[in-house]
A and B are shown apart, each in its own frame.
Chain A
Amino acid sequence: MEKSGSVDSVESLCSSTTTRSDRSSGTRVSDTELRSKGRAIEKVLQCKYTSKGELPLLPEELVQDSAKDVTYICPFVGPVRGSLTVTNYRLFFRCTDREPVFGLDLPLGVLSRVEKIGAATSRGDVSYGLACKDMRNLRFVHKEPEDSLKKSVFEVLMKFAFPVSNNMSLFAFEYKQVFPENGWRVYDPLAEYKRQGLPKESWRISKVNDHYELCDSYPAALVVPVTITDEELRRISSFRAKGRIPVLSWIHPESQAAVVRASQPMVGQNGRRCKEDEKLLQAIMDANAQSHKIFIFDARPSVNAAANKMKGGGYESEDAYQNAELVFLDIHNIHVMRESQRKLKEVVYPNIEDSHWLSNLESTHWLEHIKLILAGALRIADKVESGKTSVVVHCSDGWDRTPQLTSLALIMLDSHYRTIRGFQILLEKEWLSFGHRFQQRVGHGDKNHTDADRSPIFLQFIDCVWQMTRQFPAAFEFNEYFLITILDQLYSCLFGTFLCNSEQQRLKEEVPKHTVSLWSFVNSQLEEFVNPLYVHYPSHVLFPTVGIRHLQLWVTYYIRWNPRMRPQEPVHQRYKELLAKRAELQKRVEELQREAANRTASSSSERAGSPTRSITPVQTFV
């Protein structure tokens, strides 16, 4: 049931593009060139109107149906009449009677629910509500077709919005765009382990999961202590939930302190033990000579962890694991997070209640969850960096809260993951290869919008990364647009990257063979995603502030559909202008210098140190 208050809509990306270009073409003419370059980014995936107003389609994208005279009820500008087109990839609405041109262009993958609202009215109007995964709702009204046999455009929409439920393939499997770079090659597990110096004396790369027999949600290559045999790993796998045994995620290049991830131990009510598992944790501790202790971070609140004993799970007892200290991080489960996101959507879309904005925001608990996740990651990073202690991180299954924590801790610890390619590797490794259940959590192409397995776990992670980029504006190679692109493409089903639940499934479905990787697209236009403020400090560890005073709601993502909240020209724009200015000046200096050099050379030869290109201009004149 659609609540009348929350029926809403979207300002299209197209319309936002037009407004912004209008803006820059206005006053500072000389800057237009620079800015249009910055804006090119918006053209890449969003459909732009051609001069004739035609809809440019992606390769293999086909128009399925279209309807004229549809009214889009925009919560910001009121009803807008126009035409609606549905392809096998997107929904496209274009208003016909408004200046400036107003449009909506969204991938069907972003829809979580399409439903008819109420019965047809006496005037023969039918109303549809579209709930989206990206914090907006759309509402359309159109006339009941006279020919009742003809399907309405929304029935066609329903079919293509949820291909999985209709036994069709996702558009990603049809999209055949070729990019200069193949993003499926971005992540090579062995190369990444090699970068970390693995294998090394106390760590080996095991092939025990080569055919996903030990654990079907784990990757093929696993890093484990050398002293633990494959046979012992097999025995451990029956002791850890879903067979997700403790394996290495990252190792500190100096202290050898390791970040190890796992799922909960199947302790149960009787306090089962597994001596191989105990040996494994001891071996992890021994692999790091700096510390005689190991920290086990259980991401859950202790109450929940204890409750899991009823279902056979639980947590490590400090009796069984000597030298281990167990810490609970109090992060809630996927259901709490889903509810929090639902509330957040209510608060930010379509309208914001100004006078109660802060208390409304607080009531969603969204930022509190973000705070807890960041605080957990911070404690992990602190133990590894300052305490030089190895840590084991797990939650229940080790595929939701665990990757949130490990990947955030890794971003804090290792500057490589703050580069664009490094971040891609981090996602491929911690999230995709270690089996975060993207298909379930996002529900690609599935019409079952009430599925309890859906949850914004990955969104929270990206939000946490964004919080860190706000606190350390010069520490990340990528910009905000990169993060938003990842989230948009998470839902769009245009690329194969976020399909399926595990590495094994992706191989079985031959996803890399039949789809394009998001990184193919990203890495083919890297300059759009670069943060001009980036300074590379290889050895810096980042410790963000997790106090809620320093956390902000990600307005440019969650409230981006509200035209009033659109950002002003960002700092980065001005910075890019300066960079261009510097380049230009530098070029002129060099030209003049060369000219001067030529002149000097021709007129007299007494001046030594003939200026070459490499000489710095300042030396010549100061």
Chain B
Amino acid sequence: MLSLGSVGAKSTKPSFVSYVTPEEIKLEKEPPKIEKHPDLLPGEVEFCCANPILKYTQDDMSQRGIFGTLFCTNFRVTFISDEKSQEETTKTFKNKLYGENDIPLMCVDHIYGVYDEKKKLITGGLVKNKYPSKMIIHCKDLRVFQFCLTFTKEEDAKKIFQGIAHHCLEERSLKCVFAFSYSGTPKMQRKCIILDKMQRKWETILFDSPEDWTQEMKRTRANCRLVTENENFELSQRLPKYFVIPSALGDLFSYQGKGFPIWCWSHHSGCALFKASLPPVTQEDGDFQKHLDIMLNAVAHNYLYSAKTEDLSESLPTIQDIQQSYNKFKQFFLIENSTDFWLSDVKWFSSLESSGWLDIIRQCLQKAVEVVECLEKDNTNVLITEEEGTDLCCVISSLVQIMLDPYYRTLMGFQSLVQKEWVAGCHAFLDRCNHLHQKDKECHSPVFLLFLECVWQLVQQHSPAFQFSETYLTVLSDSVDVPVFSTFLFNSAHHRESVMKAESPLAQSSPLSCPTVWDWSVQFDSKAQNFFFNPLYSEKVKHEKAVRKAHKPKHQRQLSLPSTAFKPPSKKGFFKDETDSLKKILRVKRLSRWMGSPDSPAATTRGFYESWKQRPLDYHGLLLPCLDGPAVRVWMQRYLRWIPEVHIMGGGSVAVMTKLMELLSQVQDLKRVLEQRDSSQAVKLDHRPYIQHRLLSFGSSGRLSSSFPFAYSRNRSFKPIIPTGLMQSLMVTDSLASQEDEASSFVSLV
């Protein structure tokens, strides 16, 4: 049966009650006034403004631009054009929180000032006296803004420049982040609480309650133990409130401060993946070695007494490497003018390679495949470790789960995975993303983005296996830097809880409640959310669930026994008796597998990948990425969307998506007609909300550019290298629908 991916998910969506009142999000439709002000969000406060400011049009080499007013608020830097903008109103994919001329303060990456033709990076100290003639803002979502300050009054220019520099660059405290003033208003609090309750009913599992974990263990048929002793963070402030450990592990308080294996996921064979924060294994400390052995034994005890362990900090780049590489990489996309663009185009491939970013992505995917091989092929328990246990461990464990478990390839599953491994898993988002502009550079690193990059590689290679689209991933990567959500704002569960309690406006009654990023209606209306779904997703056919169950008969376990030396644990006493010999063998296993491979890690998994490729492709089974050079690509949508030189007018993947979505909606319509026809014997016809279920119809795809749905192209002047002047002929198109065969005629009637 051919199934229609996005339909099912969409129909379960409750109609959203917007807590941003229509007046609040209404755009400047009134006749142009002399004094324009931004429409402030709840809790947003205007700091300073300046007029007239010239905003250079990015896609133009000349010094032309639009005049307007530049504002700085506690949420964003915003530019409001003096001219009336039509574009904002026609956008189909509009972010409700910030528009195309808004830069959330958290999203500012660097500010440059142009002083006498010289471009200088603005740091805290440089702000005092002089202000630059031109201010260039590089955003974390790779937008580039250029403002000319010379047309406005000197004091205004100084004020706005210093204001922006201060609010964007200076180190500040967490409580100054906009999320708290936004959610802090009593009105928003009530809404957030209602939303929070609503959300829990139907979507993302947040993994902040024992039930969530129990449920997850049940789903994966895990045989582990839920730990509730850390409810008040007595065990550790770096650990989640609730987590799961191997059932063989004894009293946790005796291991306090040493780190122990935390369960991530169980394979259907029974073996499982664990992660732990452990210092490097090389330590010659006897105590530590003993501790390690106990941990490993506990892991091994989970299934068949086999375990492999891997220190990720040894085999993968450090978080500083990742940071450095990404800093180089992103420069290629922060293009300020056409000349730069064409210059960098020449050495594009070698610069790309020298940044090493794609190679880091490859290494992470490679490592994940190695772990998958252990779980899937050898049915061995795996323990991945790293000093903190919350960076690369999160990357690898999440990737492994996506490759092995189709549930995590659905939108809700993916979000739950991010909650489980990253948010509840205590990834230090606040430090890694440097939301507070701390000076300490050591702890910044785009680890989460790296994970999204890896997922994108999987999505582009196996598109039908994923319910979500690349647009979803791009939006998610942007949302990290939108200071409205609580999701990416903290360093750990303990951190979150203590801050939320402290910031609560309703005194001691209950902690502050912020919307999570998963509540997409905060940012996008339901129509725009359609872009999150992949029209190519091939939804799971119902009966396959039974197949998977049948896949796990007991005898299979016997077949996959790595060695006959072990017997399945039948008695409790068994473990104790065999511990010594077991330890010995384990050590051997561990050494043989992981230490031997660094020379040619690719070679070992190559065979695994090839034998997987031989098998019939099952989008709901194991999924492995191809890691050969040409297969690892640049995430074009995320990185090229703002560069006008690479916009393909009337082309790009949006052309395919448009066509697919259109076709999908036709199939849905027909299905519906059939259903209704079947039930038409009944007198009353079922008038279900028909239009709501229809996917977007774009009107004419001819006018969309490849950067859709992000940047919108406008008429541009002729450029000698890339002539583009044909907007007219591209604009004049018949609607897509009328080009279609008979089927479209009825679609238009609906």
Q: Across the interface, which residues of B come within 8 angstroms of A574, CB to CB?
A: 464, 536, 538, 660
User: Does A378 belong to the interface (CB within 8 Å)?
Assistant: yes
Closest to B739 in A: A535
Closest to B332 in A: A549
Which of B650, B660, B663, B723 lies in contact with A378, CB distance below 8 A?
Answer: B723
Closest to B619 in A: A27
CB distance from A54 to the nearest CB of B (A): 26
User: Does A178 belong to the interface (CB within 8 Å)?
Assistant: no
Contact between chains at A565 and B628 (CB < 8 Å): yes
Q: Across the interface, which residues of B come within 8 angstroms of A132, CB to CB?
A: none
User: Does A186 belong to the interface (CB within 8 Å)?
Assistant: no
Within B589-621, the residues touching A (CB, 8 Å) are: 602, 609-610, 613-621
Contact between chains at B725 and A474 (CB < 8 Å): no
Give Cα A562–Cα B606 distance, bound, in whole angstroms. Answer: 13
Q: Across the interface, which residues of B come within 8 angstroms of A596, CB to CB?
A: 677, 680
Contact between chains at B690 and A589 (CB < 8 Å): no
Closest to A351 in B: B628
Q: Across the interface, which residues of B come within 8 angstroms of A586, CB to CB?
A: 670, 742-743
**Contacts A26-B618, A568-B462; is A357 near B630 (CB within 8 Å)?**
yes
Which of B636, B645, B743, B749 lies in contact with A582, CB distance below 8 A?
Answer: B743
Contact between chains at A385 and B726 (CB < 8 Å): yes
**Contacts A474-B656, A544-B651, A618-B749; is A354 near B610 (CB within 8 Å)?**
no
CB distance from B728 to the nearest CB of A (A): 9
Give Cα A352–Cα B606 distance, bound, in whole angstroms. Answer: 13
Give Cα A475–Cα B651 distance, bound, in whole angstroms. Answer: 8
Give Cα A413–Cα B667 distance, bound, in whole angstroms. Answer: 34
Closest to B333 in A: A549
Q: Across the interface, which residues of A come within 8 angstroms of B723, CB to CB?
A: 378-379, 381-383, 386, 543
Contact between chains at B680 and A588 (CB < 8 Å): no
Q: Across the interface, which residues of B come within 8 angstroms of A550, CB to CB?
A: 636, 640, 646, 648
| B-contact 0/1 string along A542-568, CB 8 Å cutoff | 111111111001010001001111101
Q: Across the interface, which residues of A come within 8 angstroms of B682, CB to CB?
A: none
Which of A471, A588, A589 lies in contact with B706, CB distance below 8 A?
Answer: A471
User: Does A146 belong to the interface (CB within 8 Å)?
Assistant: no
Determine the main DSSP class of B at the interface with A: helix
Contact between chains at B663 and A622 (CB < 8 Å): no
Q: Across the interface, which residues of B come within 8 angstroms of A28, CB to CB?
A: 538, 541
CB distance from A288 to the nearest CB of B (A): 18
Give Cα A613–Cα B174 distance, bound, in whole angstroms. Answer: 67
Contact between chains at A539 and B746 (CB < 8 Å): no
Contact between chains at A585 and B359 (CB < 8 Å): no
Contact between chains at A542 and B651 (CB < 8 Å): yes
Which residue of B664, B673, B739 has the most chain A CB atoms within 10 A of its CB atom? B673
**Contacts A352-B628, A564-B609; is A26 near B347 (CB within 8 Å)?**
no
Contact between chains at A565 and B630 (CB < 8 Å): yes
Within A394-431, the residues touching B (CB, 8 Å) are: none
User: Does B631 belong to the interface (CB within 8 Å)?
Assistant: yes
Contact between chains at B670 and A582 (CB < 8 Å): yes
Contact between chains at A575 and B651 (CB < 8 Å): no
Which residue of B652, B659, B732, B736 has the most chain A CB atoms within 10 A of its CB atom? B659
User: Does A581 belong to the interface (CB within 8 Å)?
Assistant: yes
Which of B354, B609, B656, B725 lies in contact with A386, CB distance below 8 A?
Answer: B725
Contact between chains at A474 and B701 (CB < 8 Å): yes
| B-contact 0/1 string along A16-32, CB 8 Å cutoff | 00010011111110110
Q: Across the interface, which residues of A come within 8 angstroms of B646, CB to CB?
A: 545, 547, 549-550
User: Does B101 belong to the interface (CB within 8 Å)?
Assistant: no
Contact between chains at B729 and A385 (CB < 8 Å): yes
Looking at A166-174, A239-247, A270-278, A358-366, the stretch in contact with chain B turns out to be A358-366
User: Does A194 belong to the interface (CB within 8 Å)?
Assistant: no
Contact between chains at A471 and B651 (CB < 8 Å): yes
Within A573-622, the residues touching B (CB, 8 Å) are: 574-575, 577-579, 581-582, 585-586, 588-589, 592-593, 596, 616-619, 621-622
Closest to B687 in A: A622
Contact between chains at B660 and A547 (CB < 8 Å): no
Further 14 A-B residue pairs, CB within 8 A, beyond A354-B602, A383-B723, A575-B660? A23-B617, A30-B1, A357-B630, A362-B348, A382-B718, A382-B726, A472-B650, A474-B656, A535-B701, A539-B732, A543-B724, A564-B613, A593-B677, A619-B746
Residues of B within 8 A of A (CB): 1-2, 341-342, 345-350, 352-354, 358-359, 362, 461-464, 536, 538, 541, 544, 602, 609-610, 613-621, 626-631, 634, 636, 640, 645-653, 655-656, 658-660, 663-664, 666-667, 669-671, 673-674, 676-677, 680, 685, 690, 701-702, 706, 718, 721-726, 729-730, 732-734, 736, 739, 742-743, 745-746, 749-750
CB pairs A–B below 8 angstroms (22 shown): A22-B616, A354-B362, A358-B629, A367-B349, A368-B346, A378-B723, A383-B723, A385-B726, A386-B723, A473-B653, A474-B701, A475-B650, A539-B733, A543-B649, A564-B610, A575-B656, A582-B667, A585-B671, A592-B677, A619-B749, A621-B677, A621-B685
Residues of A within 8 A of B (CB): 19, 22-28, 30-31, 352-359, 361-362, 367-368, 375, 378-379, 381-383, 385-386, 471-475, 533, 535-537, 539-550, 553, 555, 559, 562-566, 568-569, 571, 574-575, 577-579, 581-582, 585-586, 588-589, 592-593, 596, 616-619, 621-622
